[in-house]
Amino acid sequence: MDQSYSATAGFITTDGGVVGQVDAARVPRYTEPGTFARLPRFDQVDAADVNILGIPFDTGVSYRPGARFGPAHIRASSKLLRPYNPAMDVSPFATQQVVDRGDLAVNPFDIEEAISTIDTSVTALGEDGASPLILGGDHTIALPMLRAMRKLHGQPIAVLHFDAHLDTWDTYFGAPYTHGTPFRRASEEGLIDLERSLHIGIRGPLYSRHDLEDDSRLGFSIIRTDDYEVDGTRSIIERMRRRLAGGPVYVSVDIDVLDPAHAPGTGTPEAGGLTSRELLHTLRALAGLQVVGADIVEVSPSYDHAEITGIAAAHVAYELLSVLAANR
């Protein structure tokens, strides 16, 4: 019975003892191991360099809900990922121990309790130095992630934020903690590096011109989606690397940075977005920057089709893991 999914026998293991994926030449990919990219669970290894953690929470959304099913969907969409990344010439599951920690249990009925649970749990999880890669969940979770990062790294963190939206709004219906407000709260709380934070992929209508003024004051510069159309990817990568250099970087990827064609399964879609090729290409250029953690949020499976969105999100995670591996 060692074919059954929990058997460590199926994993590819390096000489150095790193436990990788279940071997696809022996165990078909549709065979359930349940984990991201068929990687080991945390109880199947001794220690982790990167913790993949799902946070199935979507009570902070203002429009289409459903991102609570995001972690399960991204995992299901990640089964085709293979161990070697030729675009970066790295093997992200062989040179660092990546584990799937499963999902965090957070209260859907109390946003503040949820934020507190995330902050506490992620902080605890990072105390041994492992990097978090979060599968959301809505964007509310970026706030407790940044609280944890701030504590773990002892300094404000540069935020690289891929999104159609600024997410630096103030309140909705009086609520300060929602998926549209995490970076305003984070800036107010001193969690982010005001000189080095950056949005990429902004597009679509805003509430007013003041949104942009506020956003700038809160520490962000902006690369718009239109800049890809006009300037091309190479120029954007240069601007991005210049802005982020010189300290720790947290990467937050709202999947709605992609065009609805590339990511229908999300909560607040905006036409005119990035292609998945542009996004993956841009992410690879993070190699060499000091990435300390990341999240992929706002995947809402009931609006997805044939895992288009889930696969894009899984590839985003894969490139981020490759960046972490390249930096080791």
Applying the rule CB under 8 A, the residues between 115 and 174 that interact with a second copy are: 117, 121, 124-125, 171-174
By DSSP bridging, strand 19-22 and strand 11-13 are: antiparallel
Quick one: which segment of 96-104, 142-150, 155-163, 185-193 binds a second copy (CB under 8 A)? 96-104
Report the residue from 16, 89, 129, 154 that binds a second copy according to the rule CB under 8 A. 89
Tokens of 166: 């600024």
Quick one: which segment of 1-9, 147-155, 187-195, 247-255 binds a second copy (CB under 8 A)? 1-9
Residues 6+ apart with CB under 8 A from 152: 123, 126, 127, 292
Restricted to residues 292-311, the positions that interact with a second copy (CB under 8 A) are 302-308, 311
Q: Is 201 in the site for a second copy (CB under 8 A)?
A: no
Residues binding a second copy: number (CB under 8 A): 119
* Phi, psi of 269, rounded to the nearest 5 degrees: -70, 145
CB of 193 to a second copy, least distance (A): 24
User: Do 166 and 86 contact (CB within 8 A), yes or no?
Assistant: no
By beta-carbon proximity to a second copy, the closer residue of 100 and 193 is: 100
CB of 246 to a second copy, least distance (A): 27
Q: Is 47 in the site for a second copy (CB under 8 A)?
A: no
Cα–Cα distance, 224 to 200 (Å, whole number) = 6
Q: Is 91 in the site for a second copy (CB under 8 A)?
A: yes
Report the residue from 4, 155, 216, 235 that binds a second copy according to the rule CB under 8 A. 4
The distance of Cα 227 from the centroid of its chain, to the nearest Å, equals: 23
Q: Which residues of 21-48 are buried (b: 16+ CB within 10 A; e: fewer)?
A: bbebeebeeeeebebbbbbbbbebbeeb
Restricted to residues 212-251, the positions that interact with a second copy (CB under 8 A) are 212, 224-226, 228-230, 233-234
By beta-carbon proximity to a second copy, the closer residue of 68 and 243 is: 68
- Give the DSSP letter string of 256-294: GGB-TTT--SBSS--SS-B-HHHHHHHHHTTTTSEEEEE
Report the residue from 178, 187, 197, 252 that binds a second copy according to the rule CB under 8 A. 178
User: Do 22 and 33 contact (CB within 8 A), yes or no?
Assistant: yes
